[in-house]
């Protein structure tokens, strides 16, 4: 785990000149965690995308530093693992193939077959690893997303709706994941659920934007 | 952008110039050996049809200018993300489309009188038609995009991509393919994108005045459209 | 951006295509239907070489229009765009999709060539093979180059299927006219040197389009 820090300064986003949120500022480094809460449609997923470098803010910026060096937005994704309802795996490949292919495209270092196997076991998909994702239930797809997110041992783990579609065991897996991430890296959780929000020390509330 | 006095100058200037060119172009008679200023020479092969040069070429010229202006502001938008640049880009494109239609029509009229049929698919004719298609595609793309940001970004990218092909079909194709237009491969006067018309000084003056007139006309209309679009833009902001 | 990453993505696309066959099936059906329609229209008439050259590229163009946009549209439709954005830089995605589209277009031209040689066996006779090969290779490159960026644009819009040919055609006109001219020369048996002007245009077109698309791709791909 690298010494990572991320700082959001005055991040605002508008679509069609309608403001989604304004002036979101926070600062996180290794060992810290942030919960993003708000009603449906308050822009949690949008903020998540901005944090992951997938969307540009209308104003403000998110700056990443790894060991005190500034990191370019394009390189940020190498340090981030994301679980999101908007992210899908490839249906026509198996769970195992998805991880192998995506890891190869990202040119991960230190991702061996053993590590992939271990990750799949952690998320509880080892038995179904050779089945096409097309055949997975929504809960299994969610578990696969966790495998994908954690595969490259990210310094920042971002979870948008962490326990969506998950059963009791799945939720336990996620909680363990979150625990581990909090101790060594940065954890960011976007959720409606009060329980999940308590996993994190800091909080950002996205609210009404009728200003 | 331009001050009120400049716009008045452009407005009246263009009206005066275009009216003058319209009248002069049609009224001045041709004669075999022009003596006075009020006579045009007879260009072999063109004769009366040469008058069309005074209208068709400036209009075609203006549509290319409009396209360049539109693409330029599109490019600026990509850098600045300022919607005003997008407004300018669309306004220029709308005008360019109109001038392109005019150029196609005046071109077809000339073609009918010069070569017998309204359309022949020679390189220049094809070029103006392709430009028309580019404009159509540009507006089709814009109407298929909902977010203002996406609409501005993607249409700017498209106009630049389309712009890259423009030098190809303007400069290269007439050389490779023979055509009817002056300046194509089979032209005895030599192939080239800009044609040396054998114009007498008085014709040249009127031609250049026409060029200037239409350019001013474009500037004036562009200014109007941008101001109108800006007002609509501000009004829609207050309602959302 | 690394070459391994690019080829890993190309391989992913090829594997995906081989498994689902979405694009391949559509393309094959389209080619067969298009050529059959042309046959019915011509009946026993034997077209001239320039008409044949034109028809050849017409079939290639429309078939490409029904298939090439899939590289981006399928990612968008299945929600894997975000996944790709997280594993690959924009340049990696651009070159990978470009390579895939070039391969697809090239295979398409081979298929149409084979079909034409079978169906129009007396008239579709390639006399100058070098010209024909050069045209097909450079044509595929140019085709893919223009189509890829436009596919990326269209994937972000609403009326994708109809918008794709509408946007592509004006941009591809130069390419189409040039390859038709060169193909006619190949069918007529004119020497390779006579097509050099055409090849210059094709190479220039490909380079200009690729450079432009590469620089602009990021604006299309990232939000």
pLDDT in tens, B84-113: 999 999 999 999 999 999 888 888 887 887
For residue B44, give how far its alpha carbon lies from the nearest alpha carbon of chain C (Å). 32
Exposure of B79 by Cβ count < 10 A (0-12 exposed, 13-18 middle, 19+ buried)?
exposed
Residue B237, both tokens: 């902001």
Given a cut of 90, whether residue C212 has pLDDT beyond it is yes
Q: How far apart are CA B124 and CA B115, in angstroms?
A: 14
User: Could you tell me how far CA A195 lies from the centroid of its own chain?
Assistant: 18
Inter-chain CB proximity B141 and C178 less than 8 Å? no
pLDDT digits (tens, 9 = 90+) for A135-168: 999 999 999 999 999 999 999 999 999 988 898 9
Kindly report the length of chain A.
Answer: 211
Q: How far apart are CA C22 and CA C18, in angstroms?
A: 9
Q: What is the CA radius of gyration of chain C?
A: 18
Q: In B, which residues are within 8 Å of A211 by CB distance?
A: none
Minimum Cα–Cα distance from B139: chain C residue? C167
Inter-chain CB proximity A106 and C83 less than 8 Å? no
Distances (CA, A) of C178 to A113, A168, B183, C138, C174: 50, 64, 19, 11, 6
For residue B215, give how far its alpha carbon lies from the nearest alpha carbon of chain C (Å). 26
Q: How far apart are CA A205 and CA B206, in angstroms?
A: 69
CB-closest option in C150, C157, C169 to B145: C157
CB-closest option in A84, A91, A104 to C78: A91
Chain A: touching chains (3 or more CB pairs < 8 Å): B, C
C3: contact with A, CB 8 A cutoff = no
Exposure of A72 by Cβ count < 10 A (0-12 exposed, 13-18 middle, 19+ buried)?
exposed
Ranked by mean pLDDT, which of A38-42, A206-210, B35-39, C164-168 comes out on top? C164-168
Q: How far apart are CA C220 and CA C212, in angstroms?
A: 12
Chain C: touching chains (3 or more CB pairs < 8 Å): A, B
Chain B: touching chains (3 or more CB pairs < 8 Å): A, C
Inter-chain CB proximity B240 and A18 less than 8 Å? yes
- In this predicted structure, which of A64-78, A108-122, B34-48, B56-70 has the lowest mean pLDDT? B34-48
For residue A30, give how far its alpha carbon lies from the nearest alpha carbon of chain B (Å). 34
CB-closest option in C2, C11, C20 to A107: C2
Inter-chain CB proximity B147 and A18 less than 8 Å? no
ipTM: 0.92
Inter-chain CB proximity C212 and B161 less than 8 Å? yes
Instruction: Please state the domain extents for chain C.
Output: 3-221
| Chain B interface test: which of C50, C142, C153 (most B C-beta within 10 Å) | C153
Inter-chain CB proximity C219 and B165 less than 8 Å? no
pLDDT digits (tens, 9 = 90+) for B125-155: 888 889 999 999 999 999 999 888 999 999 9
CB-closest option in C2, C80, C87 to A88: C80
Ranked by mean pLDDT, which of B21-25, C160-164, C166-170 comes out on top? C166-170
Name which of C195, C168, C98 is nearest C140 in CA terms.
Answer: C98
- pLDDT grade for B172, boundaries at 50, 70 and 90: low
Q: In C, which residues are within 8 Å of B173 by CB distance?
A: 174, 177
Q: How far apart are CA C220 and CA C149, in angstroms?
A: 8
Minimum Cα–Cα distance from C83: chain A residue? A87
CB-closest option in C163, C170, C220 to B134: C170
pLDDT digits (tens, 9 = 90+) for C43-73: 777 788 888 889 999 999 999 998 888 889 8
Q: In B, which residues are within 8 Å of C149 by CB distance?
A: 157, 161
**For all residues of chain B together, what is the average pLDDT?**
78
CB-closest option in C163, C198, C223 to B140: C163
Predicted model pTM = 0.88
**For all residues of chain C together, what is the average pLDDT?**
90
């Amino acid at each position: 785990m690298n010494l990572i820090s991320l700082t959001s300064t005055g991040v605002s986003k508008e679509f069609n000149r309608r403001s989604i949120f304004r002036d979101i500022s926070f600062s996180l480094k290794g060992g810290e965690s942030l919960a993003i809460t708000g009603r449906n449609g308050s822009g949690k997923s949008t903020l998540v995308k901005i944090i992951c470098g997938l969307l540009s803010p209308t104003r403000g910026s998110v700056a990443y530093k790894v060991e005190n060096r500034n990191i370019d937005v394009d390189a940020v994704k190498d340090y981030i693992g994301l679980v999101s309802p908007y992210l899908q795996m490839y249906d026509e490949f198996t769970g195992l193939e998805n991880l192998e292919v995506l890891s190869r495209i990202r040119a991960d270092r230190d991702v061996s077959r053993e590590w992939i196997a271990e990750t799949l076991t952690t998320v509880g998909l080892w038995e179904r690893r050779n089945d096409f994702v097309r055949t997975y239930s929504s809960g299994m797809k969610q578990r696969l997303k966790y495998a994908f997110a954690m595969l490259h041992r990210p310094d920042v783990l971002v979870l948008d709706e962490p326990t969506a579609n998950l059963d009791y065991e799945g939720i336990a897996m996620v909680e363990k994941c979150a625990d581990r991430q909090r101790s060594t890296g940065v954890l960011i959780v976007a959720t409606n659920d009060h329980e999940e929000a308590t996993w994190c020390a800091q909080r950002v509330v996205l609210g009404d934007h009728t200003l | 952008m331009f001050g009120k006095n400049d716009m008045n100058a452009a407005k009246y200037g263009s009206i005066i110039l275009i009216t003058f060119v319209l009248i002069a172009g049609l009224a001045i008679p041709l004669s075999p050996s022009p003596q006075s200023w009020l006579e045009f020479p007879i260009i072999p092969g063109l004769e009366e049809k040469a008058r069309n040069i005074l209208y068709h070429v400036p209009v075609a010229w203006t549509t290319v200018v409009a396209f360049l202006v539109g693409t330029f502001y599109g490019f600026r938008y990509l850098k600045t993300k300022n919607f005003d640049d997008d407004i300018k880009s669309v306004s220029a494109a709308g005008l360019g489309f109109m001038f392109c239609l005019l150029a196609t029509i005046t071109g077809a009229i000339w073609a009918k009188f010069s070569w017998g049929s309204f359309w022949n698919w020679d390189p220049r004719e094809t070029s103006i038609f392709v430009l028309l298609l580019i404009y159509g595609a540009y507006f089709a793309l814009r109407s298929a995009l909902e977010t203002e940001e996406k609409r501005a970004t993607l249409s700017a990218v498209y106009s630049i991509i389309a712009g890259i092909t423009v030098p190809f079909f303007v400069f290269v194709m007439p050389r490779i393919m023979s055509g009817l237009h002056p300046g194509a491969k089979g032209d005895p006067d030599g192939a080239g994108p800009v044609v040396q018309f054998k114009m007498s000084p008085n014709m040249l003056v009127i031609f250049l005045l026409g060029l200037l007139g239409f350019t001013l006309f474009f500037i004036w209309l562009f200014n109007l459209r941008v101001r109108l679009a800006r007002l609509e833009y501000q009004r829609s902001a207050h309602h959302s | 951006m690394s070459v391994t990453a690019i080829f890993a993505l190309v391989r992913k696309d090829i594997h995906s295509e081989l498994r689902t066959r979405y694009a391949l099936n559509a393309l094959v059906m389209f080619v067969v239907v298009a050529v059959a329609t042309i046959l019915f229209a011509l009946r026993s008439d034997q077209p001239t070489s320039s008409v044949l050259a034109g028809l050849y590229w017409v079939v290639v163009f429309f078939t490409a229009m029904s298939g090439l946009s899939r590289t981006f549209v399928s990612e968008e439709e299945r929600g894997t765009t975000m996944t790709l954005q997280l594993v690959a830089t924009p340049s990696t995605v651009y070159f990978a999709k470009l390579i895939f589209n070039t391969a697809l277009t090239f295979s398409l031209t081979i298929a149409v060539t084979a079909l034409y040689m079978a169906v129009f066996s007396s008239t579709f006779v390639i006399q100058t093979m070098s010209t024909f090969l050069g045209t097909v290779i450079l044509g595929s490159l140019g085709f893919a180059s223009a189509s890829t960026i436009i596919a990326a644009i269209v994937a972000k819009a609403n009326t994708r299927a109809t918008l794709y040919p509408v946007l592509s055609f004006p941009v591809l006109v130069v390419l189409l006219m040039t390859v038709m001219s060169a193909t006619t020369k190949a069918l007529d048996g004119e020497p390779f040197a006579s097509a050099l002007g055409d090849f210059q245009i094709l190479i220039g077109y490909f380079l200009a389009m690729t450079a432009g698309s590469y620089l602009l791709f990021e604006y299309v791909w990232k939000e």
